[in-house]
């Protein structure tokens, strides 16, 4: 009888499964997206991506502020119309900007102006762009993107 300790293993006919590499959870992989959500572009700045971070910050903050000055509407948490719910989710992406706006009670919206509707869309899209920026900061933090 062959010694199980010295016996050579039989060649397996099954192909080797590729190992699934889980992204390593680090402090930066949590901090960068969280900070990037709160302050647009800060997730990149904290990882020393200065130019990218400043460009993202300038774009998202300017877009949000333009939306406000165009008398756009900022959505409040709601459980009514589906478009209102989606509008709130979009607005929420702006993080700190949204919180400040709600605290200061800005963004009431002006129905009389057609351009105010553009402002509402600017505010929503600024939040959605910040969601993309947050995902990018996370990808940098886990090493998926240089």
Measured from the CB atom, the residue of 28 and 71 that comes closer to another protein is 71
Measured from the CB atom, the residue of 42 and 70 that comes closer to another protein is 70
**CB neighbours (10 Å) of residue 128?**
16
Length of the chain counted residue by residue:
146
Q: Under the criterion CB under 8 A, does residue 4 sit at the interface with another protein?
A: no
Q: Under the criterion CB under 8 A, does residue 125 sit at the interface with another protein?
A: yes
Q: To the nearest whole angstrom, how small is the minimum distance from the Cβ of residue 67 to another protein?
A: 10
- Identify the helix (H) or strand (E) that includes residue 18: none
Measured from the CB atom, the residue of 26 and 69 that comes closer to another protein is 69
**CB neighbours (10 Å) of residue 62?**
12
Q: To the nearest whole angstrom, how small is the minimum distance from the Cβ of residue 80 to another protein?
A: 27
Q: Under the criterion CB under 8 A, does residue 15 sit at the interface with another protein?
A: no
The dihedral over CA atoms of 34, 129, 127, 27, expressed in degrees to the nearest 10, equals 0
Query: Tokens representing 95?
Result: 């993080």
Q: Across-strand partners of 73?
A: 108
Q: How far apart are CA 95 and CA 43, in angstroms?
A: 12
Q: How far apart are CA 138 and CA 146, in angstroms?
A: 11
- Site for another protein, residues 21 to 60, rule: CB under 8 A: 52, 55-56, 58-60
Q: Under the criterion CB under 8 A, does residue 136 sit at the interface with another protein?
A: yes
| Chain positions contacting another protein, by CB under 8 A | 52, 55-56, 58-60, 62-63, 66, 69-71, 115, 118, 121-122, 125-126, 129, 132-133, 135-136, 145-146
């Amino acid at each position: 009888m062959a010694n199980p300790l010295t016996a050579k293993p039989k060649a397996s006919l099954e192909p080797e499964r590729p190992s699934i590499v889980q992204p390593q959870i680090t402090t930066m992989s949590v901090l960068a997206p969280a900070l990037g959500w709160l302050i647009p572009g800060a997730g990149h700045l904290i990882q020393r991506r200065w130019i990218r971070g400043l460009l993202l910050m300038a774009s998202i903050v300017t877009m949000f502020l333009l939306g406000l000055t165009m008398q756009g509407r900022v959505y409040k948490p709601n459980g009514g119309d589906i478009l209102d719910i989606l509008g709130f989710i979009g607005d929420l992406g702006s993080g700190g900007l949204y919180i400040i706006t709600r605290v200061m009670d800005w963004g009431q919206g002006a129905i009389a102006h057609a351009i105010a509707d553009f402002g509402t869309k600017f505010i929503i899209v600024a939040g959605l762009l910040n969601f993309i920026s947050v995902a990018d900061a996370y990808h940098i933090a886990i090493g998926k993107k240089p």
